[in-house]
Each structure stands twice: as C-alpha cells, then as structure tokens.
Amino acid sequence: MDKIMVSVIMPVYNSEEYLETAIKSVLNQKMEEMELLLIDDGSKDRSGSICDQYESDWRVRVFHKQNEGICATRNFGVDHARGEYLMFIDNDDELTENTVEDNYRLAKQYNADVVKFGCSIEESFKSGFVEKRANRFRQLAVFSREEAASHYAMAERDRYFSYIWNGMYRTNWWREEKLQFDTSIKCGFEDRVLNYKIFEKAQKQVFNPGIGYRYFQRYEHSTFKRFNRNMLYSCLLSAEAEFRLFEVLKNDQGFQGDWVRKSAEYLIEFLLLLSREDNDMSKEELADFMKKLRVSRAFRSIQKKGIGKNLALTKRMVVSLFAQRRYRALLGFAKVYLKFIYLKRRLGKH
C-alpha cells in the first residue's frame, strides 16, 4: 500500500466471543487506504489465533505481546501506526458503516487534528435487560484552539471526554504532543485523563453529529461491577486533569465552566465507589485516600466556607459535609443515594 490514510488500533484480550464481529466492522469499511492493527495483549483464549486468521488480509497487521493492559497496548499501537490519522476500537465493539471514510473526509476538509463523533450505546444488565441510548453532538462544529473555551460546554454535554474511540486523530500531531495513555491506570478513566489533554492541545477540531461507533457495555465484562482501589485513584487523576484544563481555559473568552459543580460531581463519584458493599478498604486506607482528596488542588477550593450554596441540594450537601470533614456522614449519605439510583433504574426498566 503506497499511502495509508487511517490506522485503526484494536487492543485484543480474551474476546473470542465478540472479536470477529469487531474485526469485520473495520474491514467492511469502504476506505481501502487503511490498516487495522490487531494487538494481542497476551490473551489466554482463542483471541490470538483469531487475529492470525486475518493476517492474510493486506490491510491487517497482527502483533502478539505480553500482557500489559489496555493503556500500554494502545500506546504500542500508536508507535506502530503508519496512517496519516489514527483511531481506536475496543475488541468487543463495532464501527458503524462508513465511519472511517466520513471522518477522514471531515479531517481533511478542515485540516483538523481531531474529529470527534457520536456513538450508540447498548448496556446489558444482569437481569437480561438491555438499555439503548445515543451520545452525539447536536450540530457540526469546527473550531480552533483559540475558540476551544467557548466549545467546552458542548464537549462536556455531548460526552467528548468520556471515550477515546469516538474520535480520529492526526498521527503526527499526536506524536509531536507526546500524547500517551497513563499506564498507571488499570481500571477506568484512562480515556478521560487523556481527552482533557487532547482538548487543550488540538489546534483545530471538528464535532461530527453523526454516529460512528457502537459501544456494547456488557455486564459480564464491566470493570465497574467490582470494587477496585485503582479506580478511586484513577478517578482522582481524572479530576486533577480536568482541573488543569479549567485552569488553562478559565480566562479565555466564552468559557462557562463551573469547577465547584464539577468537583461536587467528582465527590459523588468517589462516594458511590467507596459505598459499594464489596469495598474492602481498611479505615487507614480510607483515611489516607480522603487526605489525598483534601490536599489535591482540584478539591481545595470547595473546602472554603460558603462554597456551593448555589448548587442543587444533593451536591450542596456533599460539598458541605466534605468541607466539614464529616466523612462518616458522607458515606452514609452516599449509601442511601446509591440505593435510590438503583431503585430508580429498576423502575425505569418496567
């Protein structure tokens, strides 16, 4: 192949049940000048041999390596990508028809470093219930780095920061900015941490209102169904990364961010994780984590008296209890709130 326009990077790990569907969704794209990097991250099932079956396709390159996790595997993919632009796909999801061609066309038309697009989500629950929804941009938007602040609210509302696979990225720009997934993150939030840097660094971005990705959130594969200490610290990294973005954008024209509200949302996220029944942290570990929250730059501002009075009731209570260091009361409130969320979701399924 003389010129590769797009490299699609697929980390592969123990996904024999869904892998071929994911691969075919890439190979069925209309664009011919693309490559698919299948990177077997030390799979223990048939995933590695399934990858090998596709190596005869001239668009496919297969790599086998020791297990290091999704962050290191994505970084490996970027290092080996030959395309002008790159994309990511998880090994149990799918690209929609013409995703590669449509977003490459927008990238070239606007000379963009980043094109972000929408996704459909199918979430499967233990009960067998499947919830379908979509996250998408409401309109086409094209903007420069100088205009990024005025587009932050749209990016936050339409889930720009939640995922890395809902985008196409200029490969040389990615490398010049030395963008990498944080390999210390083992259990979620790696996309958010990196997306805050991407939003800040891109010189030209496009928001594509089309749906380009099918995300299957399966109960049996979810990393969020089990308590994991790394998830707490990864969430803290996400909060600090977003706080740094706020600091960069806060003086730019059109910025409408509200860090008090955002920090309250992060606190609720921490509390919901900590209040899980399978949380086996000791009192000493919990005290150490709460101390890390207190001293983090991201949460210093909400410890001042009177902060949060304009927030909604739930967020206002959380901020007030945190500022007073009433951690037992916070966890008690979170357990009640968690039961309320579960009840609300169950009622919504009937």
pLDDT for 27 beyond 50: yes
Question: In this predicted structure, which of 157-161, 209-213, 334-338 has the lowest mean pLDDT?
Answer: 334-338
Q: What angle do CA 23, 54, 39 make, to 5 degrees?
A: 65
Q: Is 55 helix (H, G, I), strand (E, B) or coil?
A: coil
pLDDT digits (tens, 9 = 90+) for 255-279: 888 899 999 999 999 988 888 888 8
Long-range own/partner contacts, residues 249-258 (CB < 8 A, 24 or more apart): 249/148, 249/149, 249/152, 249/200, 252/146, 252/148, 252/149, 252/150, 253/149, 253/150, 254/147, 254/149, 254/150, 255/149, 255/150, 255/152, 256/152, 256/153, 257/152, 257/153
Region 317-343: mean pLDDT is 83
Calculate the average pLDDT of the chain.
92
- Which of 232, 88, 234 lies closest to 167, judged by CA? 88
Does this model's pTM top 0.85? My answer is yes
Burial class (CB in 10 A: 0-12, 13-18, 19+), 3: exposed
Q: Tell me if 128 sits within 8 A of 76, measured CB to CB.
A: no
Mean pLDDT of 285-310: 89
What are residue 149's phi and psi, to 5 degrees? Answer: -60, -40
Domains of the chain (ranges, CATH numbers)? 6-221 (3.90.550.10), 258-348 (no CATH)
